[in-house]
Structure 1
Amino acid sequence: MSVTIDITGLPHERIIFCPSPLAELGNALHALAEPAHHPRLHAWTTATSATLEPELADRLVEADFMWRSTRSDFLMPPRPRETLAEELDDLDQLDDETFVGSALEISCNSSRYSQGMPSPLTDGRSRRRALDLAAARGPRQAAFVERTLADPTGTRAWIRRLLEDCDRAFFADAWRRVQVQLAADARHKTDLLRRKGLAEALAATSSVLSLEEDGHGTRIVVDKLVHGRTEAGSTGVTLLPTVFGWPHFFALYAPGWQPVIQYPAAAHEVGGAESVETVKLRLEALTHPMRMNLCRHLARGAYSTSELADSQDITAPEVSRHLAVLRKAGLLTTRRRGRYVLHQLDLSVVARIGSDFLESVLR
């Protein structure tokens, strides 16, 4: 499964890498709401939560469906600005229908996301869906969505004040610390795009991203556990680096919105950001009891096929078949010693399986 962004005919200068303070604030709020997703931020989430004023903490809980399990679309701006205030000003320019629709899009795994739905302010079905999704997240979220639909202008102002209060309370300091790294990451990717092309820039960004070119056009493919498709048209594609967002990898592909990709900055990626297919292949390779027995030996040293066959009391061809599965999954290293080929478990790869799996399902 993947999200595909058709960029056929799009000039490369309309593909931009740029940090966004609003997007990073959304990531920081998610980390506070779901600290288990972000073990590397444990010290920051613990310290920040401990110093939050109770009134601000209560307001964050009231609205956290916009960033807890996914991201409301408006938290991934297609035209990043230098400051949070400028990005909030841009949000103020959206009409109520567009803003509310983007704020309440809280189930991006739904197939209806890629098809687009009318605003819940004008469409009864969309309204019922928004209320049902909010109710599933608890009475406070249900009440918040009801208030949003009844008074979109007032609720939008409430959301802006909430984000501004978060900026004053903790985010401004955090943004100063990460802004330099994010800007450097974006400059590096932009330089690669100009000098070596989009394929190189995407490869340097993450193995989650790839470029497909054929007779039907050119596409950016995002390896995700969802399926979606959109077209960049003439508007462009924006790629937002994040520190607070690791290990999540988001692709905004709602109809009518410029495509946006949010990716973990390079220094914060773990294990090479393996593809979902690779993680699946490795997990399946380890489900067979005989391969697990072989791994017990191969984890302790290098062995030939015949040595493994003797230890397991099976034939050498059987061992070879099991080794082929482990090798295809990238779990083995091999080296030649005279006329023998020695196999050994790649412990560094095995050690990453847990984090690779976690990253793939949180992507």
Structure 2
Amino acid sequence: MSVRIDIAGLRPEGVSVVPSPLAELCMALHALGEPGHHPGLRGWATEVTDGLDPYVADRMCEADFLWRSTYSDVFLPFAALPGGLPGATLAEDLDLLDKLTDEQFVDAALEFTCLLRYAFQAPNHLSSQEGRARALEVAASRGQRQLRFTQRLLEDPPSVRAWLRRFLEDCDAAFFSDVWARLRPQLAADARHKTELLRRKGLAEALAAVSPAVRFEAGSGRIVVDKLIEGHATVTDGRLVLVPTSLGRPHLNVLHRPGWQPLLHYPVSVPEPVRPASVEQLTLRMTALSHPVRMRICRHLARSAYTTTELAQVHGMTAPEISRHLGVLKKAGLVTTRRRGRYVLHQLDVAVVARLGSDFLEGVLR
């Protein structure tokens, strides 16, 4: 499975490697909210959390569902703008966020609370009653915070936009400005290195340096990214942007939203070694993961908890079929289950998966 980006006619000078402070702030918030995805950052996360003002810490905790399990395209707003590039400062990136239409903002922000079929053009949720009802139904299965956020987002997008900007500015003042000052030279150096590779050795070499999961197929004029999803996008304005992240490993994000320019958001840090599993654990768990459907289920459950019905809808299967696959994963100790009201939610145990090895963990989190 893969995400494919058609780049026919793209010239080398149309490829830009540019860090984004807003994208890095989102990764910082994700690492603080979900340290299990980033074991190498636990010391940093503890230091930041311990130093936060209690008021800011409470606000971050209340809003952590926005970035704990999902990376929304809201944090890459320049991709929705013609010829757009990230800003040099967080304020500039936030100004780009303000330039999104309400429809663009809502469509991207619903990733926070709804399991949307990313590769397909969604209805305008601000005008489609069916789309609104479906978004609210899915958000309700996520929890009351997600439902309240979705209701407010659909009823009053400007207030949510203003709230999000103020919150991100407060995070910048509380901790991120110092983080960005430390990380920006590293990201700028990586951007220069990739740009030099592009100039001297071509796109294929530059993409190979981005990640072993990325390759350029010269014959078809496509970039192919190895992911546990299927997706397709086309470069339409002669520009492709690569955005390096220091805090984001192991996540390799490919923006391929309809109507937005595709881009690669790739990690530059070095992976941390993990402890191998026992032979008994490895045998049982790898047997459970031998089915491609269960691999794809794990990709969703690595990011958030989902109901059987939601998984059935996104995979185009019946609920009993999904239940059988979940039963195998639970028997292997890879999936946990909890009840929230009338909903039963399933989630991947990332700590257990990490013991299988970094290749598999990076695969489901990529």
User: Do both proteins adopt the same fold according to a TM-score greater than 0.5, normalized to the shorter chain?
Assistant: yes
Counterpart for residue 153 of structure 1: 158
Counterpart for residue 210 of structure 1: 215
| CA offsets 1:265-316 (integer angstroms, 9 cap, x no match) | 1x42468xxxxxxxxxxx67xx9xxxxxxxxxxxxxxxxxxxxxxxxxxxxx
2:223 to 217, 220, 223: 220
2:90 is the counterpart of 1:98: no
1:268 to 270, 293, 297: 270
Question: Is residue 233–residue 258 contact of structure 2 (8 Å, CA) maintained in 1?
Answer: yes
Counterpart for residue 144 of structure 1: 149
- What letter corresponds to residue 250 of structure 2 in structure 1? P
**How far apart are residue 132 of structure 1 and its match?**
2.8
Counterpart for residue 6 of structure 2: 6
Cα distance in 1 between the residues matched to 2:51 and 2:138: 31
**How far apart are residue 109 of structure 1 and its match?**
7.0
Aligned 1:288-303 pairs, distance under 5 A: none
| CA offsets 1:80-113 (integer angstroms, 9 cap, x no match) | 1110000101111111111111111247975x31
Cα distance in 1 between the residues matched to 2:203 and 2:51: 43
Cα distance in 1 between the residues matched to 2:12 and 2:119: 24
Question: Is residue 212–residue 220 contact of structure 1 (8 Å, CA) maintained in 2?
Answer: yes
Cα distance in 2 between the residues matched to 1:61 and 1:119: 30
Aligned 1:174-253 pairs, distance under 5 A: 174-214=179-219, 217-253=220-256
Structure 1 outlier segments of 4+, above 4 Å: 107-110
SS at match of 2:200: helix
Structure 1 portions without partners, runs of 5+: 272-282, 288-350
Cα distance in 2 between the residues matched to 1:187 and 1:109: 36
| CA offsets 1:213-254 (integer angstroms, 9 cap, x no match) | 22xx30111111111001112242211111110111111100
Counterpart for residue 137 of structure 2: 132
- Indicate the structure (1 or 2) with the bigger Cα radius of gyration: 1
SS at match of 2:118: helix
Residues 67 and 178 from structure 1, CA distance in 2 versus in 1: closer, same or farther, beyond 3 angstroms? same
Counterpart for residue 343 of structure 1: none
- What letter corresponds to residue 14 of structure 2 in structure 1? R
Cα distance in 2 between the residues matched to 1:60 and 1:133: 23
- What letter corresponds to residue 105 of structure 2 in structure 1? F
Deviating more after overlay: 50-59 vs 185-194: 50-59
Aligned 1:52-63 pairs, distance under 5 A: 52-63=52-63
SS at match of 1:80: coil
**How far apart are residue 13 of structure 1 and its match?**
1.6
1:259 to 248, 259, 262: 262
2:94 to 88, 93, 101: 88
Cα distance in 1 between the residues matched to 2:114 and 2:122: 12
- What letter corresponds to residue 115 of structure 1 in structure 2? F
- What letter corresponds to residue 117 of structure 1 in structure 2? A
**How far apart are residue 155 of structure 1 and its match?**
1.2
**How far apart are residue 8 of structure 1 and its match?**
0.7
Counterpart for residue 295 of structure 1: none
- What letter corresponds to residue 247 of structure 1 in structure 2? P
Cα distance in 2 between the residues matched to 1:108 and 1:15: 32
- What letter corresponds to residue 99 of structure 1 in structure 2? F
C-alpha RMSD of the superposition: 2.5
**How far apart are residue 200 of structure 1 and its match?**
0.5
2:363 to 347, 354, 360: 360
Aligned 1:260-339 pairs, distance under 5 A: 260-265=263-268, 267-269=269-271
Structure 2 portions without partners, runs of 5+: 80-84, 274-285, 291-353
Deviating more after overlay: 219-228 vs 95-104: 95-104
SS at match of 1:120: coil
Q: How many residues align?
A: 287
Residues 129 and 63 from structure 1, CA distance in 2 versus in 1: closer, same or farther, beyond 3 angstroms? farther
Question: Is residue 114–residue 135 contact of structure 2 (8 Å, CA) maintained in 1?
Answer: no
Residues 130 and 181 from structure 1, CA distance in 2 versus in 1: closer, same or farther, beyond 3 angstroms? same
| CA offsets 1:44-89 (integer angstroms, 9 cap, x no match) | 1112122323332333234333311121112124321110000101
| CA offsets 1:310-340 (integer angstroms, 9 cap, x no match) | xxxxxxxxxxxxxxxxxxxxxxxxxxxxxxx
Q: Quote the sequence identity (%).
A: 55
Question: Is residue 107–residue 125 contact of structure 2 (8 Å, CA) maintained in 1?
Answer: yes
Residues 269 and 241 from structure 1, CA distance in 2 versus in 1: closer, same or farther, beyond 3 angstroms? farther
Cα distance in 2 between the residues matched to 1:93 and 1:268: 35
1:163 to 141, 151, 168: 168
Question: Is residue 242–residue 264 contact of structure 2 (8 Å, CA) maintained in 1?
Answer: yes
Question: Is residue 113–residue 150 contact of structure 2 (8 Å, CA) maintained in 1?
Answer: no
